[in-house]
Amino acid sequence: GMFVGVAMVLARLKKQPELHGDIQPFVTITAGHSNVDPGAVNGKYNEAELVRQFRNAVAHYLAVAGLEFKTDGTGTINLPLTNAIALAKGASLAVEFHMNAAASKSANGVETIALPKDKVLAQKLSVAVANVFGSRLRGDNGWIDQSQSARGRLGFINAGGLIVELGFISNEAELAAFNSKYWSAAKAVAQVIVEHTKALK
């Protein structure tokens, strides 16, 4: 009886990390800003709506690939940043989509803001987007260290996520490329996410 009791305790201890581990086997993808915060605007287009469409497209391809994921809304829903941060915590991978804006209409390029530990993944995500849109890579081959970002410390990144800036909404050429090719770019991003997730297993 004592042996069985000890064995049961050891079994529970062995399973404990699996049951209560900090990292869960799901991916989080979110759209920047929200239904009440449009973000940057160019004419009839606003950042929150565009990145929501991109999130939905990525979600579609992740579903096709059979990957388990969570989002900060479906369809036209784009929940606030607090929801995105909550979803990012504990996920095996968390990616949020934004678009840059600048006073200069010529400002352009794709970048992914992330911590140094995620540099390679950040570069892969930026390359996937830039190759489809025909954009240049900003920063270090598409990676911007959060410490070098003009935005400073970002809640989503501090929660373990990466922020992909899909181009400049203020640049007419990049906005046009986004509107005509975002489904293809989303497919490329989803492929990077799927490959990264498989490598973690």
Regions of the chain with pLDDT less than 50: 2-21
Which segments of the chain does DSSP mark as H helices, in order? 2-20, 47-64, 81-88, 119-133, 155-158, 172-200
- The structure tokens listed for 89 are 């915590």
Task: Output the domain CATH number for residue 78.
Answer: 3.40.630.40
Domain enclosing residue 186, as ranges: 24-200
CB 40 within 8 Å of CB 170: yes
Domain annotation covers residue 180: yes
Give a yes or no: residue 82 inside a domain.
Answer: yes
Q: Is residue 13 part of a domain?
A: no
Q: Does 165 fall in a domain?
A: yes
- 9 assigned to some structural domain: no
For residue 58, being part of any structural domain is answered with yes
Residue 16 lies in a domain: no
**Residue 18: predicted pLDDT:** 34
| Maximum CA extent, the chain | 77
List the one residue out of 74, 79, 42, 46 whose CA is nearest residue 173.
42
Model pLDDT, residue 11: 39
Give this prediction's pTM: 0.87
Would you give the end-to-end CA distance of the chain in angstroms? 38
101-116 pLDDT per residue, tens = 999 999 999 999 999 9
Collapsing DSSP states into helix, strand and coil, what is residue 146?
Answer: helix
The residue written with tokens 């036209």 in the block is 76
- Residue 147: per-residue pLDDT: 80
Domain annotation covers residue 81: yes
How many domains in the chain?
1
